[in-house]
Amino acid sequence: MPTVILMAGTGSDDDYLRRSFGPAVTEAGAELRALAPSAELIDGYVAALDAAADAAADAAAAAGETIVVGGVSIGAVVALRWALDRGGAHCAGVLAALPPWSGPVGDSLAALSARATADAVERDGLEPTIAAMAAGSPAWLAAELTRSWRALADRDLVGQLRSAAALTAPTVDEIAELAVPLAVVGSLSDPLHPIEVARDWVRAAPRAALTELDLDQWGPAPHLLGAACVGAWTELTTGRA
Do 14 and 88 reside in the same domain of the chain? yes
Count of structural domains, the chain: 2
**Contact present, 22 and 226 (Cβ < 8 Å):** yes
The confidence score (pLDDT) of residue 105 equals 93
Helix-strand-coil percent breakdown of the chain, rounded to 5?
55, 15, 30
Of 114, 138, 117, 137, the closest CA to residue 128 belongs to 117
d(CA 239, CA 241): 7
The confidence score (pLDDT) of residue 84 equals 95
124-147 per-position pLDDT tens digit: 999 999 999 999 999 999 999 999
The confidence score (pLDDT) of residue 238 equals 83
Compute the C-alpha angle 194/199/204, nearest 5°.
130
Spell out the per-residue pLDDT of the chain, length 241, in tens.
678 999 999 999 999 999 999 999 999 999 999 999 999 999 999 998 888 877 766 654 445 567 899 999 999 999 999 999 987 777 899 999 999 999 999 889 999 999 999 999 999 999 999 999 999 999 999 999 999 999 999 999 999 999 999 999 999 999 999 999 999 999 999 999 999 999 999 999 999 999 999 999 999 999 999 999 999 999 888 865 5
CATH number (domain holding residue 199): 3.40.50.1820
Do 67 and 124 reside in the same domain of the chain? no
Do 48 and 7 reside in the same domain of the chain? yes
Do 78 and 144 reside in the same domain of the chain? no
Do 38 and 96 reside in the same domain of the chain? yes
d(CA 109, CA 73): 12
Do 14 and 72 reside in the same domain of the chain? yes
What letter does residue 154 receive in the DSSP assignment? G
Do 58 and 118 reside in the same domain of the chain? no
Do 178 and 195 reside in the same domain of the chain? yes
Domain that holds residue 69: 3-103+169-238
Q: How far is CA 142 from CA 11, 148, 218, in A?
A: 12, 10, 15
Mutual angle of helices 14-27 and 139-151, in 10-degree steps = 110
Say whether 124 sits in a helix, a strand or coil: helix
